[in-house]
Amino acid sequence: MSESKILVEVKGLHKSFGPLKVMDGLDFTLSQGENVAILGQSGTGKSVLLKVIIGLLDPDEGEVSLWGRPIAELDEVELNSLRRKMGMVFQSGALFDSMTVYENLAFPLVENGVTDEEAISAVVRERLEWVNLAGVEDQFPSELSGGMRKRVALARTLAADPELILYDEPTTGLDPLTSRKISSMIHDIDQRVKSTSIVVTHDLACARKVADRWCYLSGGKILADGTPDELFESDNQEVRGFLRDISVNPATGSQAGQDASGTISSGKES
């Protein structure tokens, strides 16, 4: 364990929005190759944590280091080169509606400076195969089902070969069968590209499939951190209660607060 490289280190993170304190001294560390699920009630700051890690939101206090480098000390060029190693699949998918699927997937490659059209086309085709969507290149996002759009969003994130992938609610709003398929795909992708990932989810089946480490976020801190079994047997009543409730009623916690995260996401996603 001490051998593995730390990709993300968050120390003493504080973040408030006006009077609302969302992060209250949160600490979190993620090593290369780990696949962690972040769980917690709606509105506890799971999406905010991802956005702080990827740099869409600035901490009020505390330090975020990526690949061992405190981001506050980096210049714009260094920061951008680290950000290129990260990909995020947003809660709402956030595809560009005016672009075809092909253009959506090509976009991150072009942004990363790839100009060879054949190379782009090969990557686009391969990533669409990874998510079982070969042949939809010329369609627009509006012509696809919700589950297909999520898979295109997944493929787009993968197009840029990120070392660290952040998934915000990859299965929310999908039927159980489609959710299972997406969870399996994320699992297969983690195996295939040996990615390090953080998955925020309310879907315990998804969390089980894609992560062997679970963190429970509450009160602006990580209240529990361990294997799924350790969390189910946690001494902390809130953690045990949450997991029990959500096992019985998977819809728990997935409604309130959704607007808030949708709203903040929408400005930055496209």
- Of Mg ion, ligand ATP, none, which one sits near residue 48, judging by CB under 5 to 8 A according to partner kind? ligand ATP
C-alpha 116 chain-centroid distance: 29
If contact means CB under 5 to 8 A according to the sort of partner, which of Mg ion, ligand ATP, none does residue 157 touch?
none
d(C-alpha 232, C-alpha 229), whole Å: 5
What is the nearest approach in angstroms of Mg ion to the Cβ of residue 100? 28
Among 10, 30, 36, 48, binds ligand ATP (CB under 6 A): 48
Contact flag: residue 88 with ligand ATP (CB under 6 A): no
Residues touching ligand ATP, count (CB under 6 A):
16
44 touching ligand ATP, by CB under 6 A? yes
Interaction of residue 22 with ligand ATP, rule CB under 6 A: yes
As measured in angstroms, the least distance from the Cβ of 217 to ligand ATP is: 7
CB contact at 8 A, 211 and 36: yes
Tokens for 239, please give them: 């953690």
Using CB under 6 A as the binding rule, whether residue 258 contacts ligand ATP is answered as: yes
H-helix or E-strand containing 78? helix 76-83
Largest CA distance in the chain: 56
Member of 63, 226, 264, 269 binding ligand ATP (CB under 6 A) = 264
Task: Please give the residue ranges that form the binding site for Mg ion (CB under 5 A).
Answer: 47, 261
Alpha-carbon 130 to chain mean position? 18
> Does 42 contact ligand ATP by CB under 6 A?
yes
Contacts of 39 (CB under 8 A, 6+ apart): 46, 201, 202, 207, 214, 215, 216, 217, 231, 242, 243, 246
What residues make contact with ligand ATP under the rule CB under 6 A? 17, 20, 22, 40, 42-48, 257-258, 260-261, 264
